[in-house]
Structure 1
Amino acid sequence: MQFVFDGHNDVLLRLWTHAKDGSDPIAEFADGTTTGHIDARRAKEGGLSGGLCAIYIPSGDLVFADPDADGRYITPMAAPLDPLPSLAIATEMAAIALRLDQAGAWRLCRTVKDIRGAMADGIFAAVMHMEGCEAIGADLSALEVFYAAGLRSLGPVWSRHNVFGHGVPFAFPMSPDTGPGLTDAGFALVRECNRLGLLIDLAHITEKGFWDVAKTTDQPLVASHSNAHALTPVARNLTDRQLDAVRESRGVVGVNYATAMLRPDGRSDSDTPLADMIRHIDYLVNRIGIDCVALGSDFDGATIPEEIGDAAGNQKLIAALREVGYGEADLTKLARENWLRILAQAWREDHA
């Protein structure tokens, strides 16, 4: 079995949402559930040994657009969020992450050594990530607090605008060049992430924002859950020029399992063959190299191919890649080592 470290999931959002309805998040993750994509049992069954677990503030006004007769769609951008309610929700999700750690349901990791130790012990290695920084004010004071709680990765924006920058809409077909990039506060955020050693994720940012980060950061460029725009031209996917910049920085692109970002027609349909995933992986490997491609499932946040189903089915992708000729050394890089290299570099660790 190839153990997988995954670049993005929304399990904290699911646990937080269910907790609002009375569910115990520790029991739901530790004991297993029939809902969502990830819990400890299914993760172990599928070799999902850990990943970046997102704190994400939901946009209640967002309604995904249906494709027209030609398969085109543009989902209107979600409205910006108020900072104080966002901070409250983010704090509640961070508390769930800490409670899971204290209960031994997973291990909240702050170093690559922590990740490797959790994997060796058979415990899910969770890294706290923030997807969209609405909970962090422009003065960045909350960033230090979340860092102390275990935050080690963040994306300045989700697919909505905030004080730090602009996100891309969910749209097909569309270029990621949809609006402005970083604000002055966004540039300050990037510099502070560099100072602290926080990974910066470019998965939802506009193309102009991508280039703003690229010219400011001292880290490799990372898109935790994005695919190739040349194959599926949704606004969320990366152009060849962006991919080339990731390669030049020796960064990473985590292949997103979301079917709308894999299919040639851009549709959200679980009846999507693994061949579409392999098509994107092959393209990325050929364009940017085996050392710069990883996995970013978007479990618990997207429609994924039914052949995978949930975390328990993760090895089906590994098996499919093996069948088309990927050897074990390359699979090890794709499954986990490329992520661990990038995290060690962003976190300024001597050894991954």
Structure 2
Amino acid sequence: MSPTRPLIFDGHNDLLLKLYRAGGPAHARQFLEGLDGAIDLPMSKAGGFGGGFFAVFVPSPVDLDEKFDAMTQPSYDLALPDAIDWEDAVPVVLNQAAILFELERLGALKVCRSAGDIRAAMDSGIMAAIFHIEGAEGIDSDLHTLDVLYAAGLRSLGPVWSRPNVFGEGVPFRFPSSPDIGGGLTDFGTRLVRRCNELGIMVDLSHLNEAGFWDVARISDAPLVATHSNAWVLSNHSRNLTDDQLRAIADSDGMVGLNYAVAFLRDDGQMDTSVTLETMMRHLDHLMAILGEDRVGLGSDYDGAKVPEAITTIADLPNLRAAMDEHGYGAELIEKLCHGNWLRVLAKTWGG
């Protein structure tokens, strides 16, 4: 098996937030030349990174050092950040979307609107990018912004992050805890999911609480997808999915992308990067035991989380392929986990 093949298509990264904090679209060229982070163009070639979901995210004023310190305790319950108004969120959303399209203009990636686009980009050696929004604060309750962003290329959306908005509630960073925290979708959230179905925008369940998850499962006519979540039975974190949730995803012919964030991998919930890749294999094994081999992939959370030391950046992805091989996954299964299953579920969701 080649160290850089099969190419990895990834369910979540926060590169756009990183470049936004660095100064916005004018600084996009740094991605081509090398960034102090987890993802850039030189590292993608070194690691065999084929692309993934590029998240647009409106950050809350959170002290990350304080947050990560709290998550080294035996138990923790971080307060949910305050809601963000639409008027404040829209400029941030547009700035980060502009970064994505500037990266496309520079030739660093291709913004893909169909599964066929992703295949074509990967086959030609171009990074394939999905325009994704994590937390719909930048979408107005009348959904006019959604229609405009869809026309621009938006193809995936998580209704909430870990804070409330007009569409619903997310889960806090709480350990130990089930995801059964708070209320589900609002009436606006129900309308949002239905409009996403109509347009063919994938609805990401990763940050929804359990009540919201079941609301989407009841409303949606598309496969249920969590782009970056893990197995709650192995790590009792509120961000992870219970076996009942996994069975619902399986019944919908949906998918889960394994999150590399160490707090959601470890059985002690700690923000400690000394996590073996075998721990990740145990999560993959459990996810596949319920979802089957065709409904599990990868969802790193690169540039948005602390990850295992062995895969600090995408240049380290050969280590992950090697761990899959050593764990006994065959070549066909490894290809499914690396990108085949994402292409399958996106083709079913979007068509093409």
TM-score scaled by length of structure 1: 0.96
2:33 equivalent in structure 1: 31
Counterpart of 1:4 (choices 4, 8, 13) is 8
Q: Equivalences for 1:255-294 in 2 at 5 Å?
A: 255-294=258-297
For residues 109-156 of structure 1, what are the alpha-carbon distances to aligned partners after superposition, in whole Å with 9 as ceiling and x for unaligned? 111111111111111111100000000010000001111111100000
1:49 equivalent in structure 2: 50
The question of 1:300 aligning with 2:306 is answered no
For residues 258-302 of structure 1, what are the alpha-carbon distances to aligned partners after superposition, in whole Å with 9 as ceiling and x for unaligned? 000001111111111111111111111112211111000000100
Q: Using a 3 Å threshold, how does the CA distance of structure 1 residues 112 and 25 change in structure 2: closer, same or farther?
A: farther
Counterpart of 2:317 (choices 311, 314, 317) is 314
2:213 equivalent in structure 1: 210
Q: Secondary structure at the match of 2:309?
A: coil
Q: Aligned partners of 2:108, 2:325: CA distance in 1, in Å? A: 31
Q: Equivalences for 1:62-141 in 2 at 5 Å?
A: 64=67, 66-67=69-70, 71-141=74-144
For residues 292-322 of structure 1, what are the alpha-carbon distances to aligned partners after superposition, in whole Å with 9 as ceiling and x for unaligned? 1100000010000111110111121111011
Give the letter aligned to residue 44 of structure 2.
Answer: A
Q: Aligned partners of 1:28, 1:113: CA distance in 2, in Å? A: 28
Q: Aligned partners of 1:331, 1:183: CA distance in 2, in Å? A: 39
RMSD of equivalent CA atoms: 1.4
Residue ranges of structure 2 left out of the alignment (5+ in a row): none
Give the letter aligned to residue 12 of structure 1.
Answer: L
For residues 30-87 of structure 1, what are the alpha-carbon distances to aligned partners after superposition, in whole Å with 9 as ceiling and x for unaligned? 1112x11000111121111010000000011465274589700011001100111100
Q: Aligned partners of 1:69, 1:90: CA distance in 2, in Å? A: 31
Q: How many residues align?
A: 346
Q: Aligned partners of 2:68, 2:272: CA distance in 1, in Å? A: 14
Q: Aligned partners of 1:25, 1:186: CA distance in 2, in Å? A: 35
Give the letter aligned to residue 14 of structure 2.
Answer: D
Q: Secondary structure at the match of 1:134?
A: helix
Contact preservation (8 Å) 2:33, 2:41? yes
Q: Using a 3 Å threshold, how does the CA distance of structure 1 residues 216 and 68 change in structure 2: closer, same or farther?
A: closer
Q: Aligned partners of 2:264, 2:248: CA distance in 1, in Å? A: 20
The question of 1:254 aligning with 2:257 is answered yes
Q: Alignment identity in percent?
A: 49
Q: Using a 3 Å threshold, how does the CA distance of structure 1 residues 69 and 297 change in structure 2: closer, same or farther?
A: closer
For residues 142-185 of structure 1, what are the alpha-carbon distances to aligned partners after superposition, in whole Å with 9 as ceiling and x for unaligned? 00111111110000000100000000001110010000000000
TM-score scaled by length of structure 2: 0.96
The question of 1:332 aligning with 2:335 is answered yes
The question of 1:182 aligning with 2:172 is answered no
1:154 equivalent in structure 2: 157
The question of 1:14 aligning with 2:22 is answered no
Contact preservation (8 Å) 2:72, 2:271? no
Give the letter aligned to residue 176 of structure 2.
Answer: P
Q: Secondary structure at the match of 1:49?
A: strand
Q: Aligned partners of 1:286, 1:61: CA distance in 2, in Å? A: 37
Contact preservation (8 Å) 2:236, 2:269? yes
Shift of 1:345: 1.2
Contact preservation (8 Å) 1:78, 1:159? yes
2:201 equivalent in structure 1: 198
Counterpart of 2:231 (choices 228, 253, 278) is 228
Q: Out of 306-315 and 197-206, give the one that drifted further.
A: 306-315
